[in-house]
Amino acid sequence: FKNIQTLGAQTGTNKPTKGIPDSYVLTDNGKYILINYGSVNSQPVHKIKEDIRDCFNDAKLLLKKDKIKKIICGHCSTNIHIEQYEDIKEVIEGVDIELIGVDTISHDLALIYPHIAKNQLGISIDTNQFFDIDDFVKVYDANGMNAPIDCDFFHRKDEIDRVDESIKNNVVTILTGASGIGKTRLALEACRHYSKGNSKLYCIRSNGNLMYEDIKYYIDEPGKYFIFFDDANMVASLDNVLNTILTMSKEYEIKILITVRDYAKDVVIETVTKYSKPEIIEIEELKDDEIKDILRTNLNILNSDYLDKIVEIANGNIRLAYLAGLRSIDRGYQAIRNAEDIFRNYYGRILNETKLNKEDIFILFFIAMAGPVKKSENPFYKKLKEQYGGKIPENEIISKLYSLELIDWFENKITNIADQSMGNYVLYYVLFEKKWINITELILIAFPYYRRKIIYVLTTLMEIFNSEELSHYVEESIIDAWDDAPEDQEILYLESFYQVDPDRALCIIKKHIDNDRSVDFNLCYEDIEKKKNYYHIEIKEIEILGGYGKTDRFEDAIDLLLLYFSKRPDLIMDFYFTITENMMFDKYSCNRKYKQESILINKLWIKSQNGRNYNNTILYLHIVNYALQTKITYTEENKNSKSINFVYMTIGFSEEIADLRRKMWETLGMLRANKKYYTIVNDILLKTHVNNI
């Protein structure tokens, strides 16, 4: 029933509060179902009749007879005979009477709600592996390590149509795909579709117990059955289970739906094929935009920063995305800056289930570090193996990892991690959780030839597993490696790790600036507008300084840029691109009240000396021309889909941007009075649009 109301129990007892009825239900047509509970064993028929008559006693209940649809009487007697039952039903003419006794309750507990018997009474009627759809969802969601499956279903229309068609045409359908990709949720949707028919439907979630007795109990008579095995590779003695079910007589019409993880599918398919030819359906990962849509709809996560971070963690894995989303709701953005617990609970379990040893994990690590690996043609892979795994039986382990679907192995030549998120966890597991390999040593081995590989690995660790302890460990390891690096690699370490040790990096850049030659160069002969169409930064030091654009070293970086420009005005395009791309407007500027933009414009204006320094003034004018835009365009990388988004952003209006623009217009007015800048300022006036300001 829906809308059921109860008077509750007397305080400190198991007795209901006195009153008529004990509970009631308001039906959709406005009539009531009245419910009485009786615990009297002696003369139960008399008590039941009395309770029914009390429902029409105005002194106890003021409710007209035509408002009563039905009366249900619960009782504890096991000795109500047929004639007594018929007598009770006739107590009030025209009102339906239903009796529910302890026999009915025990029957329902045994056949329909065995989990209630186990949880509330401590009685195990079965091994607690067979469920209806709703109870399966409750049991599944009770495990905090799983993403909830009690959620809306999106973006799988083609897949669900194919699964429905397969169930219709096959005895067994197998759904396979990477762990966490959404197989169980898809299978449940198919179960719901099929439950609309006249088949008995059971969802099976293995707990490691044998289920032969359960099968006899639930599949107890001829008829139509639909059985869903979730994670069939976990079912104890799967061969015997399928043998029992699929060799029953033709009076038993049985359909089976199976989900299985990639690394275990071959064994399951081979087992099923002994008894029936299955259709195998591969489930693909969801796209980033689809994952974001699911998070918005099911978890009401709307913040774009949260969504971007979650899909970065998930890497196409909807289960990881959901778990990360739940953590972000519970603990805020900080909870998803560090995804250690999410990955450890999820991928750590896979390492345990597949029984990988240290040598197996080392090979996975080498592939994650150096991959893809074309046999004998990846020098970094060979170097890692020589350094850390000289005696490891490589071919045997690669074959094992491939059989477990943990790596892709093309024509026995090329290997790559099948699940990128799994690869990220293996990097974390080896380098930080177990510390089997020293990061400082690994950096020195990787430089200079494989530095991009090690930078990717360390960046991945810092971005996904962003704990304070890990960050400190990685940063200390980088600094130690930098200390031991050869002098001829200084610029490579500077370019790679300038954010880790900014004091050292800025000092090195200052030294390079001081040592560089000064160039006498007059910008009046330079066609700057034409060169704006060809983005290129030649000098690494200038590009690195741009990397401090959104950090607390912003002002130091600007001062060094302007110092360098005073020596090398011939590199004006490097300075222009660095400043406009990395030190000006972004989507957070309005929240920061345009503080950095104001500091930058002010420093540039001071260096121009009110127009007396020609080269600095030219740089100022071109930066101001950019800063007076009301809309900007920038690109954002979609890491998982390997694509680029072009983002068009309107500069958010505020008092601060209005004040900044006013100051820029005032300086342009001053410079326009100088004939050296008159034409340039007029061009700015003609090209600048003030829409939306």
The pLDDT of residue 460 is: 81
Q: What is the pLDDT of residue 168?
A: 93
Per residue in 33-42, pLDDT tens?
A: 999 887 766 6
3-state secondary structure of 547: coil
- 559-617 pLDDT, tens per residue? 999 999 999 999 999 999 999 999 999 888 888 999 999 999 999 999 999 999 999 99
CATH of domain 4-100: 3.40.50
Q: For residue 693, what pLDDT is reported?
A: 43
pLDDT of residue 41: 66
Q: Where are the alpha helices (DSSP H) in 404-521?
A: 420-428, 439-446, 451-464, 468-484, 490-497, 502-515
pLDDT of residue 347: 80
Bridge partners for 230 per DSSP: 205
What pLDDT is attached to residue 244? 93
pLDDT digits (tens, 9 = 90+) for 34-82: 998 877 666 788 888 888 888 888 878 888 888 898 999 998 887 888 8
Question: How crowded is residue 54: how many other Cβ atoms within 10 Å of its Cβ?
Answer: 16
Q: What pLDDT digit, counting tens, does each position of 220-232 carry?
A: 899 999 999 998 8
Contact assessment for residue 426 and residue 464, using Cβ atoms and an 8 Å cutoff: no
Kindly indicate the confidence band of residue 175, based on its pLDDT and cuts at 50, 70 and 90: very high
- Between CA 432 and CA 470 the distance in angstroms is 7
The CA distance from 170 to 132, in Å, is: 22
At 692 the pLDDT is 43
DSSP E strands: which ranges in 365-457?
373-374, 407-410, 414-417
Task: Specify the CATH number of the domain 114-282.
Answer: 3.40.50.300
With vertex at residue 111, the alpha carbon angle to CA 108 and CA 112, rounded to the nearest 5 degrees, is 65
| CB 579 within 8 Å of CB 600 | yes
Q: Which of 320, 314, 426 is nearest to 365 (CA)?
A: 426
> How far is the C-alpha of 693 from the C-alpha of 690, rounded, in Å?
6
Asked if pLDDT for residue 273 goes beyond 50, the answer is yes
